[in-house]
Amino acid sequence: MELQFENVYPAAPRLRARLKRRINGTYRYDTLFWLVSLSGLWAFVIFASVLAALGLPTGHGLAVDLMLFTGGSSVVLALAANLAAVLLALIGLPVPRLFCASLICTAAFVYTIFRYGGDVYWAISAAGTLLLTAVGTLAGMTLGILTGTKVRLRRKIPLALMTAVICAAIIYVPLHFTGLPVSPAYLPVSASKQIEAKNPAENGNGAYRYFTYGSGLDLHRSEFAGGAELTSTPVNASPFIKDWSKRRTKFWGFDAHNLPLNGRVWMPEGSGPFPLVLIVHGNHLMEYFSDEGYAYLGELLASRGFIAISVDENFLNYSAWSGIPGNDMKVRAWLLLKHLQQIDLFASDRSSPFYQKVDFDRIGLIGHSRGGQAVAMAADPLRWFVRGDSLQNIDKFHVRSIAALAPTDKKVENNLARLSNINYLAIQGAQDGDVNDFYGDRQFDRTTFDKYSSFFKSTLYVAGANHSQFNTDWGHYDLSFPSGILLSRSPIMDGNNQRQIAMVYVSAFMEATLHGRVEYTELFRDYRTGLEWLPKTAYYNRFEDASFTVLADYEEDRDKTTIRGGGTAKAENAVLSETEAKDRENNNKGKRGVVLEWKAEGDSGQQASYSLELRSSGNSEQYKSALSLAKGLSFSMANMNFELAEKDGHTPPSPAVTIGLESLNGTSVRLPLSQFMAIQPLPVSRFTLNSWLEKKLEGGKYKEPTESVFQTYRLDFRTFMRQSPGFRPKELSRITFYFGNGPGKIMLTDIGLYS
């Protein structure tokens, strides 16, 4: 008998039919609740897009960039999310597929913006992505509950408040429980005798006019094209420039063969001749123009009788789309010299407003960031350039003064600028998140003068000042977005206050060195003489003029028991070492000194000290001559107690230092250093929102909270003579530093005499 079996299992549908059915059911689990929840994710896509628009400008304006990035990302993410949802449907996962796909795509998008758009360390990018997507998901789901259910209003309000608190906690807690070192309390600073002069940050009585000159080639700057009053001649920088991209040429309308000479001019009224001051910016995003950001300095200087010109070098700056031209530092300096040549041509033209108004024997250069290095290079041109057709008359231009705001100091063709018989000023913010090392300190040490000439050099280190705020157009953040949002704003001073400091110091510097207003020089010897003009914060300044005679700078040898001129050095109850000062990244700053560390006084029972035995005046005519002219003792000291910080981040109080002097007749006298100037703790800089970020962001360059920063102390011999009339400064034989308030650590250098 033949048996027949009924087919109890239906035949499996064909593969195409199964796939079609799954695709048709892609959104079956995406209820109204999940669709509304997408709004939270979309909000953070827009947020990341705005950051990208700010950090990756196209040059078409912020409004266009915002529309391009937000609109483009919304469309791309919508397409990607729907495609990913289809893939999830094909897999057959029983989840709200569009929402899950959107979550994945949003996370990938945010990570890409941080990691590749901002060059942020991968772990930081991942952590930021996790935080933002978590908040977006929670916020969106809460909105879905509030709009998609029949929950009464009185229950919805607490739910919304609870969600807001949770979202805020997710972001706030990991970012603000920092574990960062505690900033030290600054000691009260009493003003020295105030300088009897007008506040240099106030406009002078002189009238001035404003105009521009340009080559007329710029596609984006009408003020240097059709709006320019004077036409300059383009210059050929192709022998120096490498890697000038076609995209850069398309943007600007010119290439390295015909760079424009563009400048904003603030010209004093009157016959002149007036000192000439060029101001040059640093490396900012190319599409965000930088030269107008120093109008506050140009207007101030012009009102005080200087021809001030803000030079345009934006075409040498970085772009996210075309990089940065190779060898840009050398070209920045070269262009300044070409501007001087162009102004010389204007000054010989009767129809030009420059005609016979420029004093080329009194030239000052002001530079910010890379511009701060460029001005030093331009003042030492033959280290990089040769005389010839391009720079045939550079000897005509006498640069007398260089002011650098947060300058860089990188080797160019294995060389660094070395200034000779040029006044130098550098200002650096302790909160600088871009040029976070005090590079101006290095140029200070490479600046030299002929003995008893009129030149001087000075630095100013400012607690709370950052990098960008010296330029009114650079904003508040020292890093471009999106990484800029990871920097903390709370330790940074107000931008107007920071520019007030720049105006006081730059104006006083140019007045003292180019106008001969020597009364302003006292500000650079001692910042306290100008405290009435300055915002309240902590300041640290170095100073040296051509009258300074070195007794010990620790450059003569590597023997820590000897000093210049045959003298000897000895430490008691203190650990002594000779070394180079270090920056935040533990690199040598190019300045040697002696480091002294001592324990609490009770540990040894004897006071710690460091003594310098000088050669007798009869043994050294040079030393005898310097003492006969000397007005006092000068030295530079760095408070190194930050290296003794305890595990909780607290730094020991500032050291107590007493200065002892002894003359050949055996008379000795001691005075506390605080009688002349208090020893301030160095500022502890916290750049980011979190201690973990501090160690990871920007390659870990923020991991050290401070660096060795020197303060110059000037001790008038007359104060010691009033204390002990028998003391004879002209027969000084021994200098002793007595240390207390241990544990303590300091670094000493440039011990000598001033007259």
* Burial (CB count <10 Å: 0-12, 13-18, 19+), residue 647: exposed
pLDDT tens for 360-405 read 999 999 999 999 999 999 999 999 998 876 888 888 999 999 999 9
Q: What is the CATH number of domain 208-545?
A: 3.40.50.1820
Domain chopping of the chain, boundaries: 15-176, 208-545, 549-754
Beta strands in 505-548 (DSSP E): 539-545
pLDDT value of position 152: 55
Phi-psi region of 37 (alpha: psi -120 to 50; beta: other; left: phi over 0): alpha
pLDDT value of position 7: 52
pLDDT value of position 742: 78
Of residues 141 and 326, more confidently modeled: 326
List, in order, residues 6 or more apart from 612 with CB less than 8 Å away.
Answer: 551, 552, 563, 567, 568, 569, 734, 735, 736, 751
Classify residue 33 by its DSSP letter.
H
**What does each C-alpha distance from 118 to 56, 122, 480, 488 come to in angstroms?**
9, 11, 8, 17
Does the pLDDT at position 9 exceed 60? no
Best CA proximity match to 373, nearest among 430, 426, 421:
426
CA atoms in the 13 A half-sphere facing the CB of 60: 10
pLDDT band at 140 (very low <50, low <70, confident <90, very high): confident
- Whole-angstrom Cα Rg for the chain: 32
**Cα 59 from Cα 460, distance rounded (Å):** 36
User: What sections of 314-471 are H helices per DSSP?
Assistant: 328-347, 370-378, 440-445
**Cα 749 from Cα 594, distance rounded (Å):** 7
Helix (H, G, I), strand (E, B) or coil at 315: helix
Does the pLDDT at position 5 exceed 50? no
Best CA proximity match to 684, nearest among 656, 636, 645, 710:
645
**Cα 315 from Cα 129, distance rounded (Å):** 34
**Cα 184 from Cα 537, distance rounded (Å):** 12
Asked if 337 and 378 count as a contact pair (C-beta separation under 8 A), the reply is yes
Mean pLDDT is lowest, of 66-80, 187-201, 454-468, 530-544, for: 187-201
Beta strands in 561-655 (DSSP E): 568-572, 575-582, 588-598, 608-613, 632-639
Structure tokens at 460: 């100013």
Does the pLDDT at position 216 exceed 70? yes
Does the pLDDT at position 357 exceed 90? yes
**What does each C-alpha distance from 150 to 28, 144, 156, 162 come to in angstroms?**
22, 11, 10, 19
**Cα 366 from Cα 336, distance rounded (Å):** 11
Average pLDDT over residues 420-436: 96
Mean pLDDT is lowest, of 357-371, 613-627, 739-753, for: 613-627
List, in order, residues 6 or more apart from 272 with CB less than 8 Å away.
Answer: 307, 356, 357, 358, 359
Please name the amino acid found at residue 724: S
**Phi first, then psi: what are they for 406, rounded to 5°?**
45, 55
User: What sections of 25-114 are H helices per DSSP?
Assistant: 32-55, 62-91, 97-112
Best CA proximity match to 57, nearest among 318, 220, 287, 324:
287
pLDDT value of position 185: 64
Best CA proximity match to 713, nearest among 688, 749, 668:
749
Helix (H, G, I), strand (E, B) or coil at 316: helix
Does the pLDDT at position 35 exceed 90? no
**What does each C-alpha distance from 588 to 314, 327, 593 come to in angstroms?**
32, 25, 12
Does the pLDDT at position 603 exceed 50? yes
**Cα 76 from Cα 335, distance rounded (Å):** 44
pLDDT value of position 186: 67
pLDDT value of position 158: 64
pLDDT value of position 178: 58
pLDDT value of position 213: 97
**Cα 194 from Cα 579, distance rounded (Å):** 37
CA 184 to chain centre: 21
**Cα 1 from Cα 23, distance rounded (Å):** 48
Does the pLDDT at position 224 exceed 60? yes
Does the pLDDT at position 161 exceed 80? no
pLDDT band at 619 (very low <50, low <70, confident <90, very high): very low
For every residue of 109-132, DSSP letters joined together read HHHHIIIIIS---HHHHHHHHHHH
Look at strands 539-545 and 575-582 and give their pairing.
unpaired
pLDDT band at 101 (very low <50, low <70, confident <90, very high): confident
pLDDT band at 438 (very low <50, low <70, confident <90, very high): very high
Helix (H, G, I), strand (E, B) or coil at 650: coil
Average pLDDT over residues 110-131: 82
Does the pLDDT at position 3 exceed 90? no
Percent of the chain with pLDDT strictly greater than 70 = 90
**Global pTM?**
0.91
Average pLDDT over residues 254-270: 96
User: What sections of 591-690 are H helices per DSSP?
Assistant: 601-604, 621-629
Q: Kindly tell me the sign of the dihedral angle through the C-alpha atoms of 428, 198, 548, 374.
A: positive
CA 634 to chain centre: 29
pLDDT value of position 223: 94
pLDDT band at 617 (very low <50, low <70, confident <90, very high): very low
Of residues 210 and 755, more confidently modeled: 210
Helix (H, G, I), strand (E, B) or coil at 367: strand
pLDDT band at 620 (very low <50, low <70, confident <90, very high): low
Structure tokens at 483: 């990484």
pLDDT band at 180 (very low <50, low <70, confident <90, very high): low
pLDDT band at 31 (very low <50, low <70, confident <90, very high): confident
Asked if 338 and 345 count as a contact pair (C-beta separation under 8 A), the reply is no
pLDDT tens for 659-708 read 999 999 989 999 999 999 999 999 888 888 878 888 888 888 888 888 99
Q: Kindly tell me the sign of the dihedral angle through the C-alpha atoms of 116, 119, 122, 128.
A: negative
pLDDT value of position 1: 45
Query: Could you tell me the CATH superfamily of domain 549-754?
Result: Galactose-binding lectin (2.60.120.430)
Does the pLDDT at position 188 exceed 70? no
For every residue of 481-501, DSSP letters joined together read TTGGGGB-STTSPPHHHHHHH
pLDDT value of position 618: 43
pLDDT tens for 529-579 read 999 999 999 999 999 999 999 999 888 777 787 887 778 899 999 999 999
Mean pLDDT is lowest, of 155-169, 619-633, 649-663, for: 155-169
Helix (H, G, I), strand (E, B) or coil at 754: strand
Average pLDDT over residues 72-76: 89
Does the pLDDT at position 220 exceed 80? yes
Count, in order, helices (H) and strands (E) of the chain: 17, 21
Tokens 């002209």 — which residue? 730
Does the pLDDT at position 159 exceed 60? no
**What does each C-alpha distance from 68 to 79, 80, 564, 568 come to in angstroms?**
16, 17, 66, 70
Please name the amino acid found at residue 476: H
pLDDT band at 406 (very low <50, low <70, confident <90, very high): very high
List residues bridging with 412 in a β-sheet. 415
**What does each C-alpha distance from 292 to 12, 128, 298, 471 come to in angstroms?**
74, 35, 10, 8
pLDDT value of position 176: 61
Residue 388: count other Cβ atoms within 10 Å of its Cβ. Answer: 7
Q: Kindly tell me the sign of the dihedral angle through the C-alpha atoms of 512, 517, 520, 521.
A: positive
